Chains A and B, each alone.
Chain A
Amino acid sequence: MGNITLSKVTKSFGDVQVIPPLDLDIREGEFVVFVGPSGCGKSTLLRLIAGLEDVTSGEIRIDDRNATELPPAKRGLAMVFQSYALYPHMSVRKNIAFPLRMAGLDKAEQDRKVEAAAKVLNLTDYLDRRPGQLSGGQRQRVAIGRAIVREPAAFLFDEPLSNLDAALRVGMRLEISELHERLKTTMIYVTHDQVEAMTMADKIVVLRAGNIEQVGSPLELYHKPRNLFVAGFIGSPKMNLISGAEAAKHDAKHIGIRPEHLKASKESGVWKGRVGVSEHLGSDTFIHVHDTGLAVGEEDMVTVRCDGEMDARHGDTIWLTPDMERLHRFDDKGLRIT
């Protein structure tokens, strides 16, 4: 249970094609994350799978059954919305029980499952409250509770944590990962957050303007980005992309080096530059280096990550040395050279 296959799926709003023909295979039990810049069609793709939008053409199969024409209620999927979308006129208990009620379970069975879900999600004390009387984190839990009681074929999440503060977000991230470990149910998760994508996913799907740029495990994407777009998109801070003479030295149109694969020194190195802003996080220091003479795009800035503290003042001269093993090379079409 939980295979989802999209073949040649397209979606247009009016004359605008938001999703060009797209194929995607999601296997049972996988945790798949959709990432991509704003407006690239992540939500649209998720809503197509959910059945909340109709495909313009193509086919969606869920568990080897053609689901293209099925209404959302009949697809057996559960969704957690960014706004939580709880039913304001129902208690938490009724909210969580709603999918069970729709499935026609008897009252005792409903109660048993609601209690069980509430226990897992630490909601037992809140079951008789209305959603309006809960904090953001608690509401999020109710939304997840409502999704898990029914034991769906797959869970769909559309940026479920983006309305929570940073600390809560980390906590909920772990809870969702934990839930996935325990339930082993397919999950499809849309996010803007690099860390969420890297830490939670079995498989990341990078989208740009509705096109799939690359599909792979987080580390595959990190170590072997298929093209310049993925290279620039995955990783934080982003990879330094250099073109021009320096790239030509490596028989490439563009080369890329991640901030963590550069070594900074005050005495010697391969590239020389001037320190701009440096960000001290305690565990590491990010230094933004200018005037390197490298062709690094318009902002003329190379970012380097140093372990722990690095004493670098604005205006200091600094030397950078790339780790040649970790250098990425791209051809004139922006594709990775292997």
Chain B
Amino acid sequence: MARAVSTQRKALVTVVAWVIGIVIFFPILWTILTSFKTEAEAIASPPSFLFFDWTTENYGEVQARSDYFRHFWNSVIISVGSTVLGLIIAVPAAWAMAFVPGKRTKDVLMWMLSTKMLPPVGVLIPIYLLFRDTGLLDTRIGLVGVLTLINLPIIVWMLYTYFKEIPGEILEACRMDGAMLKEEILYILTPMAVPGIASTLLLNVILAWNEAFWTLNLTAAKAAPLTAFIASYSSPEGLFYAKLSAASTMAIAPILILGWFSQKQLVRGLTFGAVK
């Protein structure tokens, strides 16, 4: 809806947006700043904002004490693996629900979403036991499986809403033009759904990257991703704020960079396609 907006109004909206943005970003900024302080400065009161002795010793120490890259690789494999596996299952599922809906399609969709309302801790014990008995504890395969299942409802829902946006007449037109199911999927549906599939992929990589409950509870050392890497700095050795911050910064940096370069796709993904 095009509407003339006065400059005054525009300025106000800009200021409010910046304030909200800074409030939301502040904890991350603080973490990054703290990671460059010494432990003493990190707990100093009142805290110094920018004028402290900048040091990178925390990063060196964190890297020396634990293997960042192993955790990083675990995170990459788990998040990308579970997303790709999820997409392979969800694309045909969403396709069927969007284009050949049955009487119960809506119910199935609701039921899938309802599984996201269950507190994960409610099924922790059974899943833990299953993992223990099948030897999946602390394996990447196990985590890929669990995160696929956890995020599958969201992937299906997102894809379903994207596919729904594709006008049925275009699909009918390609059938009239001689396309059978294979050509229809290959030449018409998939290219038209690519933006939707891309933002679903991005969002789910991020969700899986940040997932902490299952990754913390089902791993020990071998398959532990970056979430476990951060957690290992939080409690047992007392409070080392600066090192904890350095570890956190290292863990969130890849996803921040990914998010920065894919802002447009992400916004579309988060709003379920409502913003074009």
Q: Which residues of A pack against B, CB within 8 Å?
A: 50-52, 71-73, 77-79, 81, 83, 85-89, 98-99, 102-103, 146, 150, 156
Task: Tell yes or no: B180 within 8 A of A by CB.
Answer: yes
Partner of B177, one of A51, A71, A98: A98
B183→A102 contact, CB < 8 A? yes
Scoring B residues 167 to 205 as 1 if CB is less than 8 Å from chain A, else 0, what string do you get?
Answer: 101101111111110010001100110000000000000
Closest A-B pairs by Cβ, 5 of them? A102-B178, A85-B173, A99-B177, A85-B169, A72-B175
Residue of B169, B170, B177, B191 near A102 (CB, 8 A) is B177
Contact of A83 among B169, B187, B191 (CB under 8 A): B169
Give A38 to B102 CA distance when docked, in angstroms: 28
Instruction: Establish whether residues A85 and B167, one from each chain, have CB atoms under 8 Å apart when the complex forms.
Output: yes
Measured between beta carbons, the chain B residues less than 8 angstroms from A156 are 176
Find chain B residues with CB under 8 A from A73 CB. Answer: 175-180
Within the complex, the shortest CB–CB distance from B183 to chain A, in Å, comes to 6
Dominant SS among interface residues on chain B: helix
A-B contact pairs, 5 of them (CB 8 A): A52-B176, A87-B188, A87-B192, A98-B174, A102-B177
Chain B residues near A52 (CB-CB < 8 A): 172, 175-176
A72–B176 contact, CB under 8 A? yes
A73 to B188, CA, bound (A): 15
Q: Which residues of B lie under 8 Å from residue A79 when comparing CB positions?
A: 172-173, 176
Q: How many A-B residue pairs have CB under 8 A?
A: 60
Give the residue name and chain of the A residue nearest to B168 (CB).
A85
Cα separation A102 to B180 with both chains bound (whole Å):
9
Using CB atoms and an 8 Å cutoff, list the residues of chain B in contact with chain A: 167, 169-170, 172-180, 183, 187-188, 191-192
Is the CB–CB distance between B179 and A102 below 8 Å?
yes
Minimum CB distance partner of A78 in chain B: B176
B122 vs chain A, min Cβ distance (A)? 41
Are A89 and B191 closer than 8 Å at their CB atoms? yes
Tell me, rounded to whole Å, the shortest Cβ–Cβ distance linking A148 to chain B: 12
Q: Which residue of B lies closest to A75 (CB)?
A: B176
A50 to B188, CA, bound (A): 19
Inter-chain contact A89/B173, CB cutoff 8 Å = no
B183 x A85 contact (CB < 8 A): no
A50 pairs with B176, CB closer than 8 A: yes
* B172 to A: closest C-beta gap in Å: 5
Asked if A83 contacts B167 (CB within 8 A), the reply is: yes
**Partner of B175 from A71, A88, A89, A146 at Cβ < 8 Å:** A71
* Beta-carbon contact of A87 and B178 below 8 Å: no
| Contacts A99-B178, A102-B179, A102-B183 supplied; 8 other A-B pairs, CB < 8 Å | A71-B175, A77-B176, A79-B173, A85-B173, A86-B173, A87-B173, A89-B191, A98-B174
- For A102, the chain B residues whose CB sits under 8 A away are 177-179, 183
Nearest B residue to A89, CB-CB: B191
Q: Which of A51, A71, A73, A77 has most chain B Cβ within 10 Å?
A: A73
In Å, the complex CA distance between A58 and B167 comes to: 30
CB pair B177 A146 closer than 8 Å: yes
A22 to B118, CA, bound (A): 54
Q: What's the minimum C-beta distance from B209 to chain A, rounded to whole angstroms?
A: 30
Chain A residues with Cβ below 8 Å from B180 are 71, 73
Report how far A172 CA is from B167 CA in the complex, Å. Answer: 25
B174 contact from A78, A83, A87, A103, Cβ within 8 A:
A87
A156 to B169, CA, bound (A): 14
Q: Contact check: which of A81, A86, A103 meets B178 at CB < 8 Å?
A: A103
User: Which A residues are CB-close (under 8 A) to B187?
Assistant: 98
- Closest A residue to B190 by beta carbon equals A89
Residue of A nearest to B176 (CB): A79
Q: With A and B bound together, what is the CA distance between A71 and B173 in angstroms?
A: 13
- Check A81–B173 contact: CB distance below 8 A: yes
Of all chain B residues, the one with the shortest Cβ separation from A52 is B172
Give chain A nearest CB distance to B211 CB in angstroms: 34
> How far, in angstroms, from A51 to B177 measured CA to CA in the complex?
12
C-alpha spacing A52/B170, complex, angstroms: 12
Chain B residue, CB-CB nearest to A77: B176
Distance of A86 from chain B, by nearest CB (Å): 8
Task: Assess the B178–A150 pair: CB atoms within 8 A.
Answer: yes
Most buried by A among B177, B183, B192: B177
Q: How far is the CA of A50 from the CA of B178 in the complex (A)?
A: 12
Q: Is the CB of B170 within 8 A of A85?
A: yes
Q: Report whether B174 and A81 are in contact in the complex, using a CB–CB cutoff of 8 Å.
A: no
Chain A residues near B173: list those with CB within 8 A: 79, 81, 85-87, 146
